[in-house]
Structure 1
């Protein structure tokens, strides 16, 4: 566990981009202390008060956290998003109040730190562009695969560099090859297919040496 924690800390210190997705402004407070907690132990509801945070509370908390992050890593850029998933247990109105609170808090943080923050409108795309039923899962709360793909394409098209887009395009083809299940795994044709896939991976790694494919290379070599 300690190894993983140190690894995460090192990653944050070395990262150049971080995406933060806000989901809900509703929180649980432990009655005995007033502290905001996660009821991960499924304790009785009577032990908690449930309320919605104010814009000011969210901004104050996150301003302190962001300043701490930038002390460790001054080059870190933050991209905020608001989750498009509806929290229907709060009711339609409660969900909207929550999302509006998050949007206002993010807007305030962006104004406070304009050089270090940006915003991607995943929530707005879902609400304003993807209104048809086919863009929702059966529960009518979560985005469908079609909606996820649409939002992903909007994200990559506006946020990623040409090099990153090139990696994604080439990697999709390689990933399909890795996941391919042949009818005749012992055939010469399949062995050629594996060799061609490894060659594609080598070429991709030559173009983008920072793109680590070590695990995938080992995985596909085992298919020989």
Structure 2
């Protein structure tokens, strides 16, 4: 039989992920995909707390600043449409006043630091090597918040610049939590606004950076989400209609490889139980007040109570209790 695709082996990670330990997923929008999959699987994951951040220097700086308790500079606060934003984070992080925004950023940074101190794994997804620098005050930004292009200068990050930013983060991370596994990946989402040719140069820079970091630093590894899309699937049917973002089946395919790499048999079995409960929770009864549905809910509640105590099902149990009372 002819084989119509190219595949490759992904070495299993020695340090496995389990439900008891914390995980941080941060970076480009692909980190949202992995973060959401982990959340749905009842893992203790903090997913993109600063919103989507694309470039490595901004990402590594956010992590460094969290570990060193460095305040967000007030000079980079932007007022727009009666809301306040910060140039170092995504637009989804906003508030109704400058003071509220800075408080929100401080609280988020504390949350990130707490996770970094306790995490077993930090997953960092790099999206682009292109950055925008604010001209006044001069600063590299994570997000332009749709401000006029005249306020910025665009350029590509230098390899040594990205290495230096990572090294600062790495030293702080090892000083605070040397047992963590730092996993790098390159987002398969193409940044076509830069043009196809420049996007390829950007992705090449990021892939080379990951290679250098994996080679030069212990506790650093690489997960090939980029290669799974570009070299294994390699077909537009695995993209959404915009022909840029991976489709649902493509995301599921990468997730299956992720599980094989980072989960042991015990975690995989528990995840299967979690998925069965999730499927049951999505059940929509023909008659919500029937005795048959009440019995179904009682069995489901029993399944949940048999789950390990470190899995949080408090919201689900409250919702089931409410439904049971409605059948009475």
Structure 1 length as normaliser, TM-score?
Answer: 0.92
1:220 deviates by 2.4
Partner Cα distance (1:86, 1:39) in 2: 17
The 5 Å alignment of 1:177-216 reads: 177-205=280-308, 209-216=309-316
Alignment partner, residue 26 of structure 1: 130
The equivalent position to 2:181 in structure 1, one of 69, 77, 82, is: 77
User: Partner of 1:217 in structure 2?
Assistant: 317
In the aligned structure 2, how far is the partner of 1:101 from the partner of 1:9?
28
- CA distance in 2 between partners of 1:63 and 1:80 (Å): 14
1:157 aligned partner = 260
SS of 1:49's partner is: strand
1:11-160 paired onto structure 2 within 5 Å: 11-114=115-218, 116-160=219-263
| Unpaired runs of at least 5, structure 2 | 1-103
Q: Please point out which of 109, 112, 116 is paired with 1:8.
A: 112
Kindly tell me the number of residue pairs found equivalent between the two proteins: 220
Determine helix, strand or coil for the equivalent of 1:21.
strand
Note if contact 2:132-2:144 (Cα within 8 Å) is conserved in structure 1.
no
> Aligned partners of 1:214, 1:58: CA distance in 2, in Å?
42
Greater RCO, 1 or 2 (C-alpha within 8 Å, sep 6+): 2
Q: Distance in 2 between matches of 1:151 and 1:220?
A: 33
Q: Distance in 2 between matches of 1:8 and 1:223?
A: 36
| Structural RMSD (CA) | 1.6
Structure 1's unaligned 5+ residue stretches are none
Q: Distance in 2 between matches of 1:70 and 1:212?
A: 29
State the TM-score, normalized to the length of structure 2.
0.64
CA contact (8 A) 1:56 1:105 kept: no
1:111 and 1:67 map into 2 onto residues whose CA distance is 16
Question: How far, CA to CA, are the matches of 1:75 and 1:137 in structure 2?
Answer: 38
Instruction: Give, in angstroms, the shift of residue 131 of structure 1.
Output: 1.6
